[in-house]
Amino acid sequence: MTALIEAERLTRYYGKHCAVNDVSFTVAKGEVLGFLGANGAGKTTTMQMLCGNLAPSAGQIKINGFDLLDQPKAAKLNLGYLPDTPPLYKELTVQEFLLYCAGLHGIAKSSVTAAINRAQQRCGLMDVADRLIANLSKGFQQRVGIAQAILHNPEVIVLDEPTVGLDPIQIREIRALIRELGQDHSVILSTHILTEVQESCSHVQIIDRGQLILNETIAGLNRQMDTGTLQIATRLALDINSLLTIPGVSSIENISENRIKIHHSVTANPAEQIAEQIIAAGWGLQELTPVKRSMEDIFISLTKEHREL
C-alpha cells in the first residue's frame, strides 16, 4: 500500500492562536478517511493546508510523493479539492465551468469532452449541463463542486463537508459516489455528521482543538463501541448473586425487577454462560443484548477527555 497523502507534524498558527497542532497522518490508495471534529476544531484549516491554499507554519505535506512546497505543480496535478464553499463562477453554465476547470488542470484537448462527460455522469449533472450555475439549487451547486474536484481524475480527493445542503436522496447518492471513488483513489472527507463517517469511510480521525485525538479504522472504532455491557430481561425475577459467580462478570446493575445490566471485561464475553445459567434456572430469558456505544458517545467522550487533560 503506497501512501498517497503524507502529512507530517502539521502546525498552523493564526497570529498567536494555534489552529492545528502537530498533526501527522497518512492516507493510502483505496482508503476513505473521515475527518471528524467539532466546529472550529481545525478541520478546514488542515484541508486547506493539504490543498496548498494555506501554508503550514511547520510540517511537511506530500501528495503522491511530491512535496507540496518544493514541487507544488506536480503535487497539485494529483489533487482534487472541494472547499467548504464550492468555488463556482455563477455567471457560467455547468458545461463552461467544467471546461474552464479542465483547462486549469491541464487536461489534454483530446480527452476534455470525455472527462467532462464522465464527471457530469458521476455527479448526475447531465440534465443541467447547459444551465447557469447561479440558477441551480444549492444541492446541484454542491454537485458541480464535486464534479470539479473529480474532473481530472486525481489520485487524491479532498472534500470539505461534501453533503452539506443536500436532500436525503442526494446524500445517499453522494455517499455511494464517495465509496466508489475510494476504491481507486485516496479520499479525505471532513464532516461533523457522524453517521456519514460510518457509512462511507474506511478510516476515522477525530481532531479537537487542533490536535489529533483518534486515528482508527472503522473496524477498530467498532471495537471501541463495545462497552462490555449486556442488557438482560427475563420473565421471572433473577438471582443476582448466582450470576456474579460466572467468570468474567464484574458487576451487575439492577434496573427493574426483571431487567438487569451486566458489566463484564471486554476480553472475555460471558454471554453464553449467562444464557445457559438463566435457562437452566428457568427464569425465562426474553432479551439479551450487548449495549453499544454510539459513534456520538465515543466522539463526545474523547473530546471531553481531551479537554480535561
Partner 1 sequence: MILTIASREFRSLFLSPMAWTILAILQFILAFLFLTQVEAFTSLQPKLASIESAPGLTDIIVPPLFGNAGIILLLVTPLLTMRLICEERRNKTLSLLLSAPISNTDIILGKYLGTLGLMLLIIMLITLMPLSLLCGGELDFGKLFANILGLLLLVTAFTATGLFMSCIAGHPTVAAMGAFGILLLLWILDWSVGMNDQGSELFAYLSILRHFQNIQSGLISSVDVGYFLLFISTFIALSIRSLDNDRLQK
Which residues lie near partner 1 (CB under 8 A)? Answer: 14, 48, 51-55, 72-74, 76-77, 79, 81, 83, 85, 87-92, 100-101, 103-106, 148
Cell numbers 476544531: residue:
41
Rounded CA-CA distance 27/155 in Å is: 11
Q: How far is the CB of 14 from partner 1 (least distance, A)?
A: 7
- In angstroms, give the least distance from the CB of 165 to partner 1: 15
98 vs 95, 123, 181, 263, 286, CA distance in Å? 5, 12, 19, 57, 59
Q: Which is nearer to partner 1, 85 or 183 (CB)?
A: 85
CB nearer to partner 1: give 91 or 180.
91
Least distance in angstroms from the C-beta of 84 to partner 1: 8
Question: Measured from the CB of residue 4, what is the shortest distance to partner 1 in angstroms?
Answer: 16
Residue 148's alpha-carbon distances to 68, 88, 134, 157, in angstroms, are 21, 9, 16, 11
Helix, strand or coil for residue 159?
strand
Of residues 74 and 275, the one with the C-beta less far from partner 1: 74
Identity of residue 190: S
Residue number, 89 or 244, with CB nearest to partner 1 = 89
Our CB check for partner 1 shows the closer of 69 and 219 to be 69
The interaxial angle of helices 138-150 and 168-184, nearest 10 deg, is 10
φ and ψ of 200, to 5 deg: -115, -5
Report in angstroms how near the CB of residue 309 gets to partner 1 at its nearest: 29
Length of the chain in terms of residues written: 309
CB atoms under 10 Å from CB of 113, counted, come to 12
